Structure formats: C-alpha cells, structure tokens
Amino acid sequence: MGVSDRWWISRAVICLLIIPRINGWGKDGHYVICKIAENYLTEDALAAVKALLPDHAEGDLADVCSWPDEVRRNPHYRWSSPLHYVDTPDFRCNYQYSRDCHDSAGRKHRCVTGAIYNYTAQIMPVPHKSHLSVVKYNLTEALMFLSHFIGDVHQPLHVGFTGDEGGNTIVVRWYRRKTNLHHVWDNMIIESALKTFYNSDLTTMIQSIQRNITEAFVELSTQKNCKGAVCPNPYASESVNLACKFAYRNATPGTTLGDDYFLSRLPVVEDRLAQAGVRLAALLNSIFSVHKSIAEE
C-alpha cells in the first residue's frame, strides 16, 4: 500500500468520525420513547399494535421505532426526508402550522406535524356507514412512521431555525469531539448520559425515566392544549421554545460544549423523551379504542 493510499484511507476514517447522522433522537432515543409508550398502552391498543408490527419486530414496537430513519435515504423512501422536522423563522422562537409546515419546495403539509396528522388519519378507522371511499394504506408502515414522528416533534431542534437547518450547520465540539449542534441533541447528550449515569445500559436509563413519570405528569402531558385524538402543534411549539431556551443558548459556532451544557440540558432531554412516550401511548390508545367501538357496532 502506497503513501497516497494510506492518506486517502486516513482521510476517509476522519470524515466518518466527524460527519453526523441526522436521525431524530438517534436510535437510542426513539427506542426509549417507544419502550415508555408500550408501558402505557391499553390491552386493546397493545394487541392492535402487535398485530400491525412486522414479523421481525417480534411484537416489540421499540424495535422498529427507528425504521423511518433507516429507510429515508433509500430511493423508494426519499420522499419522507422532509417529514422528520419543521423549520421555523430564525430567532422568532415560535411555530405556526400554516406558516411553517412545508418542504423546501414550498409544498404544504410536508413536515413532521403534517406527517403526524396524515399517519393518524391513515390508521384511524372509517365508520362502516361512511359514504367516503376507503383508501387502502400500509398500516404497518403508517404505525412505524407515526411512532417515529411523535418522537421527532419532541426533539427541540427538529423544530429549530431555518437558517441553520435545526442546528445542523452549527459546528461545535462535544467535549473533544467535533460535531454539530443538531447531532448533540439527537445522540450525544443521551450517549454521554448512558456512560456517565447508567453504566452504558439503556434499560437502566428507561427505568430511571419511568420512575419520574407520575400520574400528574401523564395527565398534564396528554391533555395540554389537546383537542381530539392528535395534537402535534402544541408539541412543536414546546420544542421551538426549548430550542431557544436551552439548545441554542451558549452554543454558537466553534463553542466547546462540556459539563455545564450537558448537565443542564440532560433533564430537558429526559423530560422530552418521557413526554413523547406517554403522548404516543395516549394517541395509540385513542386510535385503537375507536377501532374497537366500530368493530362492536
């Protein structure tokens, strides 16, 4: 192997180390959310969810909660990329569906909140007496997309600023590692928490978060500003507010983020994971209670 070959290999390795994965919460975060949700599903909802899951999931919703991230770069699913986030005007720190929910080409409803409405409608049954024609959807994919996007809308920088693409163009250091701000919130806060507090065991982290979920927390999380079965708009508004107060603050380009940032932002991350989990469960419980009532007519 020549010197030039070794140089190119070393450059490739460096690029792999610093180029981030753009996955909402990362695989661990989505796993946590869906594991929490499973614990709050009714018996009917849990049975319905298991019936829709692909065989390889073996009845575990959390096992496929990252599926939309895994397929989004597949040519057949490239259309789904804009559905993982919604960008908002720089520094306004607010979200409006009519203003913000569109893709880069300006096509309306192509954003994470629009996707949540869409996939909820796909899974929600149509009454037998309805005059509307029933469209056949892939309900397995609809369930996996919906579960994932409920997680995404709770990640503050998935409702970040247009100018920095939700923190993707803000290059920072996480301790000694070069990365970007979006990746810090998707992955690195959770990864550092696992190593620092949970002995690198995701189950221990999930149990710790669940111990802090009280009945009052569940009630507040599932009823706040929510009218009807699904209400992603308040969740998006929460996220952009948290992005302004916590994610963007003290994280300008070139900043090294260390203990102060990590320890003050970890409670926000764990709170959002918990909220996403109980809200996903509430949504699925609502959907499949409607399924049951129609079946009994």
Q: Quick: pLDDT tens for 71-98.
A: 999 999 999 999 999 999 999 999 999 9
Question: Is 10 part of a structural domain of the chain?
Answer: no
The per-residue b/e assignment along 117-154, b for 16 or more CB within 10 angstroms, e otherwise, is bbbbbbbbeeeeeeeeeeeeeeeebbbbbbbbbbbbbb
Residue 222 has phi, psi (to 5 degrees) of -95, -15
Q: If pLDDT is split at 50, 70 and 90, which confidence band does 11 have?
A: very low
pTM for the predicted model, two decimal places: 0.88
Structural domain range at position 156: 21-295
148-159 pLDDT, tens digit per residue, is: 999 999 999 999
On whether residue 14 sits in a domain, the answer given is: no
Q: Is residue 273 part of a domain?
A: yes
Residue 11: inside a domain: no
Which of the four pLDDT bands, split at 50, 70 and 90, describes residue 128? low
Task: Give residue-wise pLDDT tens across range 14-49.
Answer: 343 344 435 568 999 999 999 999 999 999 999 999
Domain count, the chain: 1
Please indicate, yes or no, if residue 9 is contained in any of the structural domains: no
Q: What CATH number should be reported for the domain holding residue 111?
A: 1.10.575.10
Does residue 2 fall inside a structural domain? no
Residue 5 located in a structural domain: no
Q: Is 13 among the domain residues?
A: no
Q: What pLDDT score was predicted for residue 295? A: 44
